[in-house]
Structure 1
Amino acid sequence: MRDHGLWAASAPTAPATSALAADLTADAVIVGGGYTGCSTALHLAELGRSAIILEAGEIGFGGSGRNVGLVNAGLWTMPGDLLAAAGALHGERLLEQLGRAPKLVFDIVARHGIACEAEHRGTLHCAVGRSGLREIGERHRQWSERGADVELLDADAASKLIGSKAYSGALLDRRAGTIQPLAYARGLAAAAIRSGAEIFTRSAATGLYEKGPSWTVATSGGSVTAPWVIVATDAYSSGIWTAIRREQVMLPYFNLATRPLPPDVLKTILPGRRGAWNTSRILSSFRLDAAGRLVFGSVGALRGPGRSIHAHWGERELARLFPQLGTIEFEHAWYGQIGMTDDALPRLHSPAPNIVSISGFNGRGIAPGTSFGRDLARLVAGEIGADELPLPMTAAREAPYHALRGAFYEAGAALAHLAGSRI
């Protein structure tokens, strides 16, 4: 998927790892080396438990290394809709936990000295037209009633923070912020290793076997036996974990990064260095990196005809949003897959005793993944029970026509972008 673009070019080097080549034991074996897996390992190590991560590729290979880097609070769904879908008990727990999740991310970054371009200055949800303004107005009402630090901005106030007059308003969420996403994943992994966890890359799980009161996860080069198995592969699940992927519809999302902007132009675009995204049905996002590049993304896959369609649309759309940019040149381009569940809520599964998977972050993987990783570590350590988690344990269910719907989203985004700029 065109590697990891800008993030691979600008992230600090990943901690040294190797492929598993032995038969080991631990308190927990964690499958997947993204935010959730690395957070679980870090928190387990800090609780004095042994943890081993098995990653099929490299640290942050999947969604953790390909996304925009917005560290948002909550989920896509509004608080009221989340409560209706999850129920009062779990809904309240989920809202409370994920409202605080960005702070957890930035606290970990500070505590472990993770170099990931962290900016804890809030994010902007930009309103498109009257309908978008109504949407962010309702979000503001619902979050404000829960005491969240959010502010509704009119068009003039929004334009000052965005650097564009294209939007009818914006919702400023001061709980949120931005990071360099691959750098954060690598930093979490390094912190976990320093704390005592072990990470093996290029070590895909090829088998799962019950071994008395424990489980053995096999790879081509060795195995790990542990009482607990945590599956943290989400949208990039494959092999023996395919059921996790099949209950989600894949939504491709691409990012394009400009060259570093000239200082006089840079000071006019997102002057507060807040990440932003809009309310369009086919949404787009934009943010700055530490070097002053403008990173612009939207729904679509950079493959086949989509590669040129989305890049040309990106040039036109950025010129419309920010005419002060002048000639636009993209230095990097990459894309990944977002796993979408039917109700936009994550899924917590336990297909067998002491095997737990968390998935379905719906494009909100950074803060929720970090937060759920901490929860799963506490579960393994016996500090909490499954009934205290913010999600109920459910059985995996295949999403109807998931492959066809994913193809539809990819084709639909390409057609929309081919038609030209739209807002």
Structure 2
Amino acid sequence: MKNDPRSHGLWEHSAPPPPATMPLAGDIEADIAIVGAGYTGLSAALHLASAGVSVVVLEAEEVGFGGSGRNVGLVNAGLWVMPSNVIAGLGPVHGPRILRLLGDAPSVVFDLVAQHGMACEAEHTGTLHCGVGNMGLVSLKERTRQWQRLGAPVRLLDRDETREKVGSRAYAGALLDARAGTIQPLAYARGLAAAALGAGARIHTASPVLSAAQEAGRWRLRTGSGSVRVEKIIVATNAYTKADTATLWPEIRTELIHLPYFNIATVPLDAAQLATVLPKKQGAWDTKNILTSFRLDRAGRLVIGSVGALRGAGQAVHRHWAARALARIYPQLAGIGFESEWFGSIGMTVDDLPRLHRPAENVVSISGYNGRGIAPGTVFGRVLADFTRGVVSESELPLPVTNAVPARARWAREALYEYGSAAAHLVAARF
């Protein structure tokens, strides 16, 4: 997108075309406006329009331009933090509530894909959280115990089972989560947009919101070529809140710490290689602090990713790391060619939990997915749709409504993520 081959890489090359959209032109009215056409905004638009609500989506760039079009494509259940930490952070009411919601979230994604016939390479075959060494295995044992106590269909694989599922001897064990799977993430975003349009939503791309003001009890959002007058607003810009629009609700950006994440895709594997690499098509990632993720796409490309930005010196560092890491996990793929590479930003919070805010009257925002955007974004969009149309009360929401607190030393933390990951990858997997 925007003539940048490192923005969306393989996903842009292999996704079906987006549905036709145009910039906003003129002054229009609706019941609800949504700012941002990622998973959250598009899911909210689909569920609102399906309920007969007049809804308009305003997107500064294109459908799926932000994290929704750049991520790995793992449709995971829950958050990446332990269930016990979710309950400790959110309390005895919201903690169990969000664990139930997000535990079931992948099924919502795959049901929407099937219901609307989305061509997004959906694979509902589970995911593998791979344990690195004894410490990684201990962590997975505890994670498995906590999820099983909640009734989740997860189980811990031993070293031999892991080798069979992953196709590698690199891991001491793995947590297999049957709830989860993979999709082509940009294709899913475009599928949500097409479904929302089909339900009656209006989506305007290339329409950044420049101002928002209340007029006689309603909001007017202005873009460069038009305006929308609405009763309520859902802000779904998350980590891709733009600097030139952050003055509308700046707290959304100031509480998020950007974590860069890149992906690099190989050329398609041949039949013999595919027989030995993730033979059941599960997506995978490991327990390292600077993690490695890997999964196959429908054409047999292996996509490997980790923390880091493909810019400046980091571009060569991370590319060389990917080649070494891939050869370590799958020696049979040593020397295989890479076809595309891309990166984006993840919105992290200081406690790794998402945030729900009401920054102004009749305005609601949700952000801080901490690397779990696909399934949470989809169900949070549905929740916000129900909340803004009045069928869910604030007391029934899965997150408490809080005031945003700017992250301390945010720029220093972001620099540490980018340059620290480059330094680690410079030496990692060499020995």
- TM superposition score normalised by structure 2: 0.97
Query: Which structure 2 segments of 5+ residues have no match?
Result: none
1:306 maps to 2:314: yes
Map Cα deviations across residues 115-134 of structure 1 (whole Å, 9 max, x no partner).
00000010000000010000
**Residue in 2 aligned with 1:75?**
79
Contact between 2:157 and 2:174, CA under 8 Å: does it hold in 1? yes
Give the corresponding residue for 1:256: 264
Task: After the TM superposition, list the runs of 4 or more consecutive aligned residues in structure 1 that deviate by more than 4 angstroms.
Answer: none
1:55 and 2:59 are equivalent in the alignment: yes
1:21 counterpart = 2:25: yes
Q: 1:44 to 1:182 in 2, by over 3 A?
A: same
Query: 1:3 Cα shift?
Result: 2.1
**Matches of 2:308 and 2:99 in 1, distance apart?**
29
Query: Is 1:146 aligned to 2:154, yes or no?
Result: no
Q: CA deviation at 1:246?
A: 1.4
Between the aligned partners of 1:372 and 1:137, the Cα distance in structure 2 is 29
CA distance in 1, matches of 2:87, 2:430: 33
Deviation at 1:213, TM superposition (A): 2.0
Letter in 2 for 1:278: D
Residue 414 (structure 1) aligns with: 422
Render the CA deviation track for 1:312-371: whole Å, top value 9, x for unaligned: 010011011101113221100000000100111100000112100000000000000000
Shift of 1:140: 0.3
Which range is displaced more, 179-188 or 411-420? 411-420
1:372-414 Cα offsets, whole Å, 9 max, x none, are: 1001111122111112100011111110011111011111100
Q: What is the 5 A alignment of 1:304-343?
A: 304-343=312-351
Partner letter of residue 343 of structure 2? Y
Match of 1:273 among 281, 303, 306: 281
1:5 is aligned to 9
The whole-number CA distance in structure 1 between the counterparts of 2:394 and 2:216 is 22
- Matched residue of 2:174: which SS? strand
| Structure 1 counterpart of 2:137, from 133, 139, 142 | 133
Tell me, in whole angstroms, the C-alpha distance in 1 between the residues paired with 2:92 and 2:178: 26
2:299: which partner in 1?
A: 291
How far apart, CA to CA, are the structure 2 residues paired with 1:324 and 1:80? 39
Q: 1:189 aligns with which of 190, 193, 204?
A: 193
Letter of the 2:163 counterpart: S
Change (3 A) 1:422 1:141: farther
- What TM-score results when the alignment is normalised by the length of structure 1? 0.99
SS at match of 2:128: strand
The structure-2 alpha-carbon separation of the partners of 1:7 and 1:202, relative to structure 1 and needing over 3 Å to count, comes to same
Which residue number in structure 1 is paired with residue 39 of structure 2? 35
CA root-mean-square deviation = 1.0
After TM superposition, the structure 1 = structure 2 runs for residues 78-97 of structure 1, keeping only pairs within 5 Å, are: 78-97=82-101
Measure, in 2, the Cα distance between the counterparts of 1:328 and 1:405. 34
1:185 & 1:262 partners in 2: Cα distance? Answer: 29
User: Is 1:109 aligned with 2:117?
Assistant: no
SS at structure 2 position matched to 1:4: helix
**Structure 1 partner of 2:409:** 401
Give 1:282 deviation, angstroms.
0.4
- Equivalent pairs: percent with the same residue? 59
Match of 2:237 in 1: 233
CA drift at 1:422? 7.1
Aligned-residue offset at 1:243: 2.3
**How big is each residue's C-alpha offset from its partner over 1:214-240, in whole Å with a ceiling of 9 and x where there is no partner?**
111110111111111000000001212
